[in-house]
Amino acid sequence: MLGLLAALTVVTIWHELGHLWVARRYGVPVKLIGVGIGPAIWRFCLGGDVTFEVRALPVGMVIGVIARRAPDGQALRPVAHDLAVAAGGHWQASF
Protein backbone atom coordinates (compact mmCIF):
# COMPACT_ATOMS: atom_id res chain seq x y z
CA MET A 1 0.00 0.00 0.00
CA LEU A 2 2.81 2.40 0.84
CA GLY A 3 4.44 1.65 -2.52
CA LEU A 4 1.23 2.50 -4.35
CA LEU A 5 0.91 5.76 -2.43
CA ALA A 6 4.51 6.67 -3.27
CA ALA A 7 4.02 5.82 -6.95
CA LEU A 8 0.85 7.92 -7.18
CA THR A 9 2.63 10.83 -5.53
CA VAL A 10 5.55 10.67 -7.97
CA VAL A 11 3.24 10.43 -11.00
CA THR A 12 1.14 13.36 -9.78
CA ILE A 13 4.19 15.53 -9.15
CA TRP A 14 5.54 14.68 -12.62
CA HIS A 15 2.15 15.60 -14.13
CA GLU A 16 1.99 18.97 -12.32
CA LEU A 17 5.59 19.77 -13.28
CA GLY A 18 4.41 19.47 -16.90
CA HIS A 19 1.85 22.21 -16.26
CA LEU A 20 4.52 24.31 -14.53
CA TRP A 21 7.03 23.88 -17.37
CA VAL A 22 4.51 24.96 -20.02
CA ALA A 23 3.30 27.89 -17.91
CA ARG A 24 6.85 29.16 -17.49
CA ARG A 25 7.59 28.65 -21.19
CA TYR A 26 4.56 30.72 -22.27
CA GLY A 27 5.07 33.37 -19.61
CA VAL A 28 1.91 32.53 -17.67
CA PRO A 29 2.55 33.82 -14.13
CA VAL A 30 2.58 31.06 -11.51
CA LYS A 31 1.42 32.20 -8.05
CA LEU A 32 1.46 28.92 -6.11
CA ILE A 33 3.30 25.64 -6.05
CA GLY A 34 1.71 23.35 -3.49
CA VAL A 35 2.68 19.83 -2.43
CA GLY A 36 -0.04 17.78 -0.80
CA ILE A 37 -3.69 18.32 -0.01
CA GLY A 38 -5.50 19.85 2.92
CA PRO A 39 -4.50 22.88 4.99
CA ALA A 40 -1.07 24.41 4.49
CA ILE A 41 1.35 23.59 7.31
CA TRP A 42 4.35 25.46 5.90
CA ARG A 43 4.68 28.34 3.40
CA PHE A 44 7.75 29.86 1.81
CA CYS A 45 8.07 32.74 -0.65
CA LEU A 46 10.21 31.65 -3.62
CA GLY A 47 10.72 35.20 -4.82
CA GLY A 48 8.44 37.61 -6.52
CA ASP A 49 4.85 36.55 -6.05
CA VAL A 50 5.40 32.76 -6.05
CA THR A 51 4.51 30.88 -2.87
CA PHE A 52 5.59 27.30 -2.11
CA GLU A 53 3.32 25.38 0.27
CA VAL A 54 3.56 22.02 1.99
CA ARG A 55 0.15 20.75 3.00
CA ALA A 56 -1.04 18.34 5.67
CA LEU A 57 -1.31 15.19 3.52
CA PRO A 58 1.71 14.81 1.21
CA VAL A 59 -0.27 13.34 -1.69
CA GLY A 60 -0.45 15.23 -4.94
CA MET A 61 0.58 18.68 -6.05
CA VAL A 62 -1.03 21.85 -7.34
CA ILE A 63 0.16 24.69 -9.57
CA GLY A 64 -1.78 27.96 -9.28
CA VAL A 65 -1.70 30.56 -12.06
CA ILE A 66 -3.27 34.02 -12.15
CA ALA A 67 -6.65 34.52 -13.81
CA ARG A 68 -6.72 34.99 -17.56
CA ARG A 69 -8.73 38.19 -17.30
CA ALA A 70 -8.15 41.39 -15.37
CA PRO A 71 -10.93 42.67 -13.06
CA ASP A 72 -12.08 44.99 -15.85
CA GLY A 73 -12.57 42.02 -18.20
CA GLN A 74 -9.54 42.62 -20.40
CA ALA A 75 -7.66 39.47 -21.47
CA LEU A 76 -4.18 39.23 -19.97
CA ARG A 77 -2.99 36.50 -22.34
CA PRO A 78 -4.24 34.50 -25.33
CA VAL A 79 -6.59 31.57 -24.77
CA ALA A 80 -4.03 29.38 -26.55
CA HIS A 81 -1.61 29.86 -23.65
CA ASP A 82 -4.18 28.60 -21.15
CA LEU A 83 -4.98 25.61 -23.36
CA ALA A 84 -1.26 24.82 -23.64
CA VAL A 85 -0.85 24.95 -19.85
CA ALA A 86 -3.88 22.69 -19.39
CA ALA A 87 -2.50 20.19 -21.90
CA GLY A 88 1.02 20.44 -20.48
CA GLY A 89 0.37 18.01 -17.65
CA HIS A 90 -0.85 15.33 -20.03
CA TRP A 91 2.07 15.85 -22.38
CA GLN A 92 4.60 15.60 -19.55
CA ALA A 93 2.90 12.56 -18.04
CA SER A 94 3.28 10.67 -21.33
CA PHE A 95 7.10 10.60 -21.04
What pLDDT band is residue 33 in, cutting at 50, 70 and 90? confident
CA angle (16 as vertex; 47, 1 as ends), nearest 5: 120
| Predicted confidence (pLDDT) at residue 14 exceeds the cutoff of 90 | no
Exposed/middle/buried for residue 65 (C-beta within 10 Å: 0-12, 13-18, 19+): middle
- Determine the Cα–Cα distance for residues 89 and 61; give it in Å rounded to an integer: 12
**What would the mean pLDDT of 24-44 be, rounded to a whole number?**
90
- Domain ranges, ordered by start, for the chain: 2-93
**Mind listing the pLDDT tens digit for each residue in 56-91?**
987 778 888 888 888 898 988 998 998 898 888 765
- Determine the Cα–Cα distance for residues 95 and 89; give it in Å rounded to an integer: 11
